[in-house]
Amino acid sequence: AQSFAVNRVARQRRIPDIEQCQELLSDHKKLVEPLMAFLAERGRLPADVELATAPQLTRVFGSVARAFSLLRRVTGTNHWDTIRQQRRADILVYLALAAFPMRPRFGALPDELRYDIRAFFGSYKSGCAEADALLFSAGDQDAVDQACRGASVGKLLPEALYVHRSAVEHLPPVLRVYEGCGRQLAGAVEELTLVKLFRRRARVSYLVYEDFDRVAHPALRTAVVADLKRLDLHFRDYTGSSNPPVLHRKELFVADDYPARKRFARLTAREDRLGLLDAPSTIGTKNGWLTVLSNAGISIHGHQITRHL
């Protein structure tokens, strides 16, 4: 009844014509561009003090929020919604990992981070509560396993999900926190190549390989294993091994926008056609892989295959 009463007296709002929106935005492109850059970076509307052009935007469009509303009509909502979701996830992961050793007071945070938290969670208390729940999920191996199976990036094997260091940010928040817990224990690993997220054991490994981009099937050099249950580290050195593990299907480890991904995928497709990848248990080590290549009369230089008659 109250909704009906409100609707009876509410004025009808005219929806702006999209062509008029485009014309208005085009006329003030230089004014709108800083707003777009801020939105792309922060995923939220700026506070007036964060955007130098806020007064001009308010004069032209009525408010910064109205300028963004027109922008969404012209460009569509999906892109901006995705940015907001990604930025919110980033802040949530930050809050979860900030629990080690103890989260700072809200007043001690940078201004822009305080604005982020208010925009995405309403309050610091709400954000921390959600972060605590995420941190708890990262300690639940069933939740970790489910997230590994649902991840859009990484090479999923029965034991673990392997991802390139550049793709960690593309993982679901629970896996980013899981990895972050391992990093708290392991510290920074120099020349890190891949992160191995164990699905059924509370462990994260940090793997260093030969030049990932240059070598078609790089060999493992070192591994740092963070045991999250026992809170200890194990270091394994493969540099003196005559038969170290090697990588295949490198495109699976990286995100779609990784510069060399297409090159990796082309090599894998050709190796598949030649049957070189048919025995995963054999080709997982350097000697096994070289034997398969030798038997097939094939050599690989860079990411190019040469067949020998």
Q: Burial, 74: exposed, middle or buried (Cβ in 10 Å; 0-12, 13-18, 19+)?
A: middle
Q: How far is CA 237 from CA 18, 186, 193, 207, 209, in A?
A: 61, 15, 15, 10, 11
Mean pLDDT for the stretch of residues 160-188: 97
pLDDT at 73: 85
Q: Burial, 209: exposed, middle or buried (Cβ in 10 Å; 0-12, 13-18, 19+)?
A: buried
pTM: 0.88
Separation of alpha carbons 267 and 276, rounded Å: 11
How many other C-beta atoms lie within 10 A of the C-beta of residue 27?
Answer: 11
**3 state SS of 216:** coil
Say what percent of the chain tops pLDDT 70: 93
pLDDT over 50 (residue 15): no
**3 state SS of 300:** strand
Give the confidence band of 309 by pLDDT, cuts at 50, 70, 90.
low
**3 state SS of 233:** strand
Per residue in 16-67, pLDDT tens?
A: 343 545 776 778 888 888 999 999 999 999 998 999 999 999 999 999 999 9
Per residue in 230-263, pLDDT tens?
A: 999 999 999 999 999 999 999 999 999 999 999 9
Task: Round the average pLDDT of the chain to a whole number and report it.
Answer: 91
Mean pLDDT for the stretch of residues 199-223: 98
* Residue among 213, 72, 92, 201 nearest 148 (CA): 201
